[in-house]
Structure 1
Amino acid sequence: MAKIVRKKADMCTGDIFLPGQRAAHFRIFGPSTSGTARGRMAPRPMRKSLLLLVVLLFAGLRPAPAQVQTLLQGEWRSYLSHNRTIAGVEKDGLIYTITTGGLFSYDPQTTEIRTFSTIEGMSGITPSTIYHAREYGAVFIGYSDGMIDYFTDPSQFQYLSDIQRNTFYTDKRINAFAADGRYLYVGTNFGLVIYDLETGLPDTDISQFGDNASRLPVSSVALYEGEVYVVLQGVGLFRAPADFPNLKDPAVWLQEDSDTGLPEDQQVLEIGARGSQLFARTNSTVLVKENGFWTVYAPLDEPWNKLIVSDQGVGGTRIDKVAIVNRFDLKYTFFIQANALDAVPYGESEFYVATRFRGLIQFDEWVLTNIRPAGPPSNDCVRVAAGNGEVYVAPKGYNQIYGPDVNALGVFYFQTRNGTWTNLDSVNGRLPREVATGFARVHYDDESRTAYLGSWGRGLVEVREGELLDFYTCEKDGLPTINQICTPSNLENTRVSGIDFDPYGNLWLSFDFARPPLVARSPGGDWTQVPDSRFPQGHHIVDMIVDDYGSVWMINLSQGILVYTHNNTPDRLDDGQMLNLRTGLNQGGLPTNDVYALARDRDGFIWVGTGRGVWVYYDPFSIGQGSIVDASAPVYERNELLENTVVTSIAVDGGNRKWIGTEDGLFLVSENGDAVIHQFTVENSPLLSNRINDVGIDQQTGEVFVATDRGLISFQGDATEDNGNCGDVFVFPNPVFTDRHEAVTIRGSLRGAKVRVTTVSGLLVRELDAQGGTAVWDGRDVQGRKVRSGIYLALITDDNGEETCIGKFSLIAR
């Protein structure tokens, strides 16, 4: 079979749980001091069946922490939620579950969990369906864009990309699979595609069945007694001989009807085959076809959303329950208090239930166990801030037009040193109820190790290492609101849109649509409001930073930039003046008034992300003195940097280089923007999506966190912030194995320092320039030759040659 192979990354698993670690679980057997409770089987009235009622308590449930390995330079790691599961299959004793964060496997014997994403070779992280082709020994995963991943061993994903690459069809979502060993039948939103698995190529595609319109969705597929059965969504059930030479002929496909016993008043929604039986699900009945005729297998009290056909029996899922039926009767039902989407039979009596919000739930002898990898509660992430091994993620707080999106998601907090995720919300008591909704902004202050969490409606929260320090609202602290209304019925009106500190220690907050939209809190705790009269009519402040001179730069949505200067009186925060930087010569020089990002670099320049690329204000001091200065565009390959690209985020690393998030991927550019060092897209990297919401950098480690519209991922950069003195030198990996490690990271440098790699006898091997506080060595000498095994020293000298740090490491050449 023709195969396209993408190897798993050598050193980067991306797993939250490492091999050998146990999955978090919580079992309820019945009231007892051991925290367990046993459910009871009760007779169902008027039925020869049993009803199993089991309640799963989710409160306080937390997956076990994972030890997080240090990333090597250039490696990726995903931080994805697997709470929203979709469907699952069993293969070789493992349960594989697709989620909105990719895929994870669970071993019931060892309780080991492994997660898979684009880092491990998946083509995406938002699959639509999964299928185990037992005769072929492979698991197939379909996506909404038509892509198909498959594997016999999950360490090596392979791909069928023909549907995705086809330009004739627009809606290519994969809905269902069926296979007979050689041929794979794929139900899509435009019809049926048949793959020849021996060649890896499409054999045929069918877009019309009978006299019906073409390109209708095929929602379910089954193979039964030499025929292919498909459910044409909203139309009915069709069949054709599997070995017919021209299945593209619409006349070959016959619709099942009352002639074969199919009730005319019931529409088939899903089908599944088992031996000599073909089962069909309608809204009120499970039907079975035997010996060429349909009969009722079991009536349904309420509609199912999924049909389960296996050797253990026939059943289905319905919101909060899974039911198993016998012919004409209900065998038993177990309740799970979670929205059940699919169930995977395992062994004689176990089921693994995919749920909409609670991960995977194991049902075994009336005991429910929750199984989910460690991760954030959801993959929503509009902003991210990091520092000192801590990561704060604001999930979302507003909709596409910046209206409040009231939600109780809280803020997601991750500690890299121990691999634990904590949801900061009011449910677990981490945040006060007065302000624990709609978080859309996060700011991390490295010096105080304090994070500031901005709610798009309720105010500001101050935390340190995930613990509440204080909170600020319109009721408690007089924070501004829309139309200056602060009543219990108007508590969604304090929309924090920007958070930053000035050089004098004042905390500045901007507010969207508020009057006034800008306030400051002094180091002594006093609040000062900038008069609303300083602002133009109809202001719409959606973000803000403060420059090195204390001027406040604000994005005024679709109206350019507002700059509030303190008028040379930094002790008076309310007597400054306002400048408006817009398009036009001597008006600010912006290419468009659509501004989406602001960043202050290590030289004090202000970098601006617009709807037409990146522009820079190189003289913020003059602007702070009240002069209008025009922006300039960095020039890359004779063009303006990222010209005509929508720039959504800019972050500055320890080497003063710029990480730029766009709607077309992630870029790393040089200090002055005249060179593109990296360009990452979903096509050439594990990046989850080309649409970047935000970029945050842990300046102490150099890890670059990328918030996308599909989740959070990170890249280990090669620049860190220098600590201003010659401290501890951290060299990793140590020891270095040249057949496994492509580079050596030397961290602990001073900005602009020279790093010399030498032998212990003092022979110079290589001289490197540090990016911020980090240098990277490729294991070669000055002549480009790979070095021999031995002990090496890293000598770091500041730019004056006055201070030297020493690190030692071993290298094993293989």
Structure 2
Amino acid sequence: MNKITRYEEKRIARFTGTSQGVKPEAVYPGWTNFVSQRSVRAIAMAMKSSCLWIATTGGVIAWKWKDNQPYQRYSSEHGMAGNEVACLCLDEKERPWVGHSEGGISYFDGQRWQVYFDLQTETVRALTGAGNYPGIWVAGQEMVYYISEPSQPPKPLSATPDISTVDTLALLVDDKQLLIGNPWGLFQASHEQAPEQIAEEIQSCTALAKDRSGRIWIGTPTGLCLLENNQVEFWDDKVSGRVLAIAVSEKRIWVLTSDGLFLIQENICLQVPIEKPVTIRAIAASTSNSYLWVGTDQLLAGVQVIDSNRSSWYLDLLTSAPDDILCNFGRCVISKPNSEQVWVGTVGGLFTYQLTDKKWESFSNNREDIRALALNSTSNTFWILSWPNGMDKRQLDGSRADYNPVPQPLSLPLLLAMGQDGHPYVLTERALWRLTTANTEEIVLSSPSGSLCMLQYDGVWWIGTSQGLYRLINGKWQLVGDQPGPLEAAVYDLTVIENTLYVATANGLWTLKNSHWFQHNIDLPSNSPQVWILAPSIHFNKAIWLACEDGVVCYDPFSCKICKHYTCINSGLASRRVTALVESTDVLWIVTQAGVSCVTLN
């Protein structure tokens, strides 16, 4: 065997793609998702249709590359069970199936995406086509299943989870056998045979592929192995690093590792120089032996390797869409009632959207984590709490509120809320502060541990923590121990509607009015009492929006009835992991950890 030989970088060709992204018509009328799809997680090539299916952290892209047609951008409003996709495969009909990291499986029926009726809460770790059989194999968190058709129930591989089916990292069909790779090794099973360990020399398996000669290539945390005739050959001295993916073409083996991209041909291993600043996330072999599809954090690229002296990178094969400037992990949102503008804070910066312009605009660098926003409707200004920049202030048009530096409280800011006096208040690691244009004023020299939210109600400051609800009385934080009441339940959010305090807790929704507590028993399918996020509703008079394990609910606290209930199964909701809600101009904005959803309420 030859040792690793690096390519001499003779020629790097750049190519700017001309294919534009388009959104098909939404399956759920009135729903729109704003989500970046530039970060790729898996690629699959449908050979008969020449369609490239690309799974991303914001949905699925379909591109008929031979015709260079506009590529299709699919997300949850098109029928999928959420935006974030973890894995992808094609069945024997070249029908794409995707697994969602927060639970569920979706498949494309040729016209639209559908949600598979079972395993809707199962975290899907890996998928593969079933080879000569119809359907697919699915790896969940603890079990591997076989699904023959979308209308058929999943068939578990074994009666109970065991070491062979837990935390699966890779699946591969070899003739009638299914190979399962996980942190404990390589296992073999079939429809008739329970899983058993094979090739015991392999202590952990991260990737699997079968070449045209029938040999099995096995990725491990330390390199590459070859399984042939029940014998294991280690290639760790040729392919280094943790193997992330393996792709097979007619005569070549492509291996993506934490150390780079490797190419194997005729038992010679070469390392391909990666065009900077490309970060490769997924690979897929093309119909051409010399060309490799490459999924990156900037969508799709490709590399063509002619020989050891000639390689060409093709970057930006697909033109980015306007939504691709977004960071999908949202934290907070503000909007004035009846306004057509919304501001969204994310872990990757601050963004605003105008309904009239239908365009997102960025107002900070992507290294700024926006932790909270507080709106002063009277002055048309809002305050920003971000890490690591601290406090900032802007007009609603995005301009700076004034030219003076914004005063910064001492110690790390944790929470931000607008006081009833029109000034912003900041809770830090050591105190509660009142901010003015010129300075900061310390209100109380202490703060409860595990603070999650805060609000001023009836002239008193309230703080929700992981250990219960606190209020500021005579300069001290006191646990609210009223009975009935939320007691020491974790408090996630607070809001006030018509002089009533609403409290979202781990044991349900509570309200406080005239010193009386009331617990609302909301009838939801999961029977989970947890409520995470609250927001007043304008469209549904006196109702309140709730985010919980069952999705997003509009709840009437007076009749104790549900007005609306949106889930990832019956609507275009981006994710169950909702972080903020706001209603404006008959539009409900839902900020999640997998993009921003909005639905027209008319």
Q: Classify the TM-score, shorter chain.
A: 0.7 to 0.9
Q: CA deviation at 1:383?
A: 1.5
Partner residue, 2:261: 322
Q: Is 1:497 matched up with 2:434?
A: no
Q: Which amino acid aligns with 1:220?
A: A
Q: Is 1:369 matched up with 2:281?
A: no
Partner residue, 1:98: 55
Pair 538,327 (structure 1): closer, same or farther in 2 beyond 3 Å: same
Q: CA deviation at 1:158?
A: 5.5
Q: CA deviation at 1:442?
A: 1.2
Whether the aligned pair in 2 keeps the contact of 1:352 and 1:361 (CA below 8 Å) is yes
1:42-65 Cα distance to aligned partner (Å, 9 max, x none) = xx999596546759899xx9x999
Q: Which has the larger radius of gyration?
A: 1
Partner residue, 2:307: none
Task: Pick one of 509, 515, 518 that aligns with 2:425.
Answer: 509
Whether the aligned pair in 2 keeps the contact of 1:392 and 1:413 (CA below 8 Å) is yes
Q: CA deviation at 1:677?
A: 1.0
Whether the aligned pair in 2 keeps the contact of 1:496 and 1:509 (CA below 8 Å) is no
Q: CA deviation at 1:309?
A: 0.9
Whether the aligned pair in 1 keeps the contact of 2:455 and 2:463 (CA below 8 Å) is no
d(CA) in 1 for partners of 2:444, 2:461: 16
Partner residue, 1:342: 282
Task: Pick one of 395, 400, 405 that aligns with 2:346.
Answer: 395
Pair 78,52 (structure 1): closer, same or farther in 2 beyond 3 Å: farther
Q: CA deviation at 1:89?
A: 1.0
Partner residue, 1:222: 172
Partner residue, 2:600: 716
Whether the aligned pair in 1 keeps the contact of 2:43 and 2:284 (CA below 8 Å) is yes
Whether the aligned pair in 1 keeps the contact of 2:240 and 2:259 (CA below 8 Å) is no
d(CA) in 1 for partners of 2:571, 2:93: 30
d(CA) in 1 for partners of 2:479, 2:179: 60
Q: CA deviation at 1:332?
A: 6.4
Pair 370,390 (structure 1): closer, same or farther in 2 beyond 3 Å: farther
Whether the aligned pair in 2 keeps the contact of 1:617 and 1:632 (CA below 8 Å) is yes
d(CA) in 1 for partners of 2:184, 2:475: 67
Q: Which amino acid aligns with 2:333?
A: V
Partner residue, 1:200: 152
d(CA) in 1 for partners of 2:247, 2:395: 48
Partner residue, 1:582: 480
Q: Is 1:633 matched up with 2:533?
A: no
Which sits farther off after the overlay, 362-371 or 377-386?
A: 362-371
1:537-561 Cα distance to aligned partner (Å, 9 max, x none) = 75876544456x8x35432534535
Q: CA deviation at 1:204?
A: 6.4
Partner residue, 1:659: 545
Q: Is 1:555 matched up with 2:488?
A: no
Partner residue, 2:308: none
Q: Which amino acid aligns with 1:302?
A: S
Whether the aligned pair in 1 keeps the contact of 2:31 and 2:599 (CA below 8 Å) is yes
What pairs with 1:765-784 in structure 2 (closer than 5 Å)? none
d(CA) in 2 for partners of 1:246, 1:528: 71
Q: What's the secondary structure of 1:119's corresponding residue?
A: helix
Q: Which amino acid aligns with 2:494?
A: L
Partner residue, 1:439: 370
Whether the aligned pair in 1 keeps the contact of 2:510 and 2:520 (CA below 8 Å) is no
Q: What's the secondary structure of 1:153's corresponding residue?
A: coil
Task: Pick one of 380, 387, 405 that aligns with 2:329.
Answer: 380
What pairs with 1:707-786 in structure 2 (closer than 5 Å)? 707-718=591-602
Pair 55,411 (structure 1): closer, same or farther in 2 beyond 3 Å: farther
Partner residue, 1:598: 494
Q: What's the secondary structure of 1:679's corresponding residue?
A: strand
Partner residue, 1:354: 295
d(CA) in 1 for partners of 2:332, 2:572: 20
Pair 689,204 (structure 1): closer, same or farther in 2 beyond 3 Å: closer
Could you list the runs of 5+ residues in structure 1 that have no partner in the other structure?
Answer: 1-43, 166-170, 258-263, 397-408, 428-435, 483-492, 565-575, 619-628, 719-814
Partner residue, 1:766: none
d(CA) in 1 for partners of 2:341, 2:536: 17
Whether the aligned pair in 2 keeps the contact of 1:227 and 1:239 (CA below 8 Å) is no
Whether the aligned pair in 1 keeps the contact of 2:34 and 2:596 (CA below 8 Å) is yes
Whether the aligned pair in 1 keeps the contact of 2:23 and 2:72 (CA below 8 Å) is no
1:145-178 Cα distance to aligned partner (Å, 9 max, x none) = 77433224251435262x568xxxxx86442413
Partner residue, 1:807: none
Q: Is 1:271 matched up with 2:271?
A: no
Q: What's the secondary structure of 1:469's corresponding residue?
A: coil
d(CA) in 1 for partners of 2:577, 2:102: 16
What pairs with 1:537-556 in structure 2 (closer than 5 Å)? 542-545=452-455, 551=459, 553-555=461-463
Pair 380,239 (structure 1): closer, same or farther in 2 beyond 3 Å: closer
CA-atom RMSD, angstroms? 4.6
Q: CA deviation at 1:123?
A: 2.4
Q: What's the secondary structure of 2:598's corresponding residue?
A: strand
Percentage of pairs with the same residue:
15
Q: CA deviation at 1:440?
A: 0.9
Query: Going by fraction, where is strand more abundant, 1 or 2?
Result: 2
Partner residue, 2:134: 183
